[in-house]
């Protein structure tokens, strides 16, 4: 009973409600295009580190669609490879945050009592620190690298997921299908992960989608400050800071990476908002 319901529910959401939601479709289209461009970067572009001094600071044109930087490197190629970095950071960081949030939220919501109090007080303490400044503080003691960034963003971004999962577990743990599983002798682990969790994933899906956009923005901000992905590895953030020096004469060095960040974050936000509208119980009843 706990397994068939979420499967049919998600099938309805994914193939009917999300498909009929223009905002979700627009976001999904942007996300798909960005993902495809990132995967096809080796085919569509060349070597992101290839230097051609003779072609330095060329404006967008037939030879270089998005121009070149101060070392003659193709901006389009570097943006495509930067998309790989941004998507990798987004997915891995959100994956870490979601796993931690689901685990702690499930334990707090299922067991309640002192377990719930202990976990939620820890969540409250973590929420007292501004996430970005907490990330900055941790990065200051570590070597700037893409792996450190992904792990730190994940370890500082799980609190919202934990609260969402806890709220869902509190409302589901006394349902009839949970009581029936307990009566049949199911272990706590089986009840949590087999019966309750599949029914509690709707808000987590929305949170994870929006979280990818937040992780991409955080990585870009860290790289812009010089403590994120380090050159010569292309990242949208370090491309922005590199273009800052020639903003008046070579506007394309900052404009196109900034546009890539804008479109990607917009796509994930639109998709997340569209999924949230589709998962809204009130909209479900009206439909």
Helix ranges (DSSP H) in 112-201: 113-128, 131-140, 146-155, 159-172, 176-183, 188-190
Phi-psi region of 144 (alpha: psi -120 to 50; beta: other; left: phi over 0): beta
What is the structure's pLDDT at 114? 92
| Stretch 199-211: mean pLDDT | 87
**What residue numbers bound the domain in which 146 lies?**
4-286
Instruction: Give the gyration radius of the chain's Cα atoms.
Output: 22
| Stretch 201-211: mean pLDDT | 88
Is the bond preceding residue 232 a cis peptide, omega within 30 degrees?
yes
| pLDDT tens-digit series, residues 81-94 | 999 998 899 999 99
What is the structure's pLDDT at 101? 94
What is the structure's pLDDT at 284? 47
Burial label, 7 (beta-carbon count in 10 A; 0-12, 13-18, 19+): exposed
| pLDDT tens-digit series, residues 122-143 | 999 988 888 788 888 887 787 7
User: Has residue 9 got a pLDDT over 70?
Assistant: no
Q: What is the CATH number of the domain that holds 44?
A: 1.10.3720.10
Number of domains in the chain: 1
């Amino acid at each position: 009973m706990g397994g068939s319901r979420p499967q049919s529910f998600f099938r309805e959401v994914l193939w009917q409600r999300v498909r009929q939601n223009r905002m979700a479709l627009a976001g999904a289209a942007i996300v798909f295009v960005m993902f495809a461009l990132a995967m096809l970067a080796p085919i569509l572009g060349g070597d992101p580190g290839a230097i051609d001094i003779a072609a330095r600071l060329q404006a967008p044109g037939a030879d270089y669609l998005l121009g070149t930087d101060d070392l003659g490197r193709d901006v389009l190629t570097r943006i495509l490879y930067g998309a790989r970095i941004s998507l990798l950071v987004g997915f891995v960081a959100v994956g870490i945050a979601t796993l931690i949030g689901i685990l702690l939220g499930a334990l707090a919501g299922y067991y309640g009592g002192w377990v719930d109090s202990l976990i939620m007080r820890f969540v409250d303490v973590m929420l007292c620190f501004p996430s970005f400044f907490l990330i900055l503080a941790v990065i200051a003691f570590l070597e700037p690298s893409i792996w450190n960034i992904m792990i730190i963003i994940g370890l500082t971004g799980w609190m919202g997921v934990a609260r969402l999962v806890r709220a869902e577990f509190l409302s589901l743990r006394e349902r009839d299908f949970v009581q029936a599983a307990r009566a049949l002798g199911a272990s706590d682990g089986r009840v949590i992960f087999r019966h309750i969790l599949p029914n509690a994933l709707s808000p987590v899906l929305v949170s994870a989608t929006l979280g990818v956009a937040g992780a991409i923005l955080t990585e870009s901000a860290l790289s812009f400050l010089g403590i994120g992905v380090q050159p010569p590895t292309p990242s949208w953030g370090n491309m922005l800071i590199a273009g800052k020096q020639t903003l008046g004469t070579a506007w394309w060095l900052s404009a196109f990476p900034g546009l890539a960040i804008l479109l990607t974050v917009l796509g994930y936000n639109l998709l997340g908002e569209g999924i949230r509208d589709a998962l809204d119980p009130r909209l479900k009843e009206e439909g």
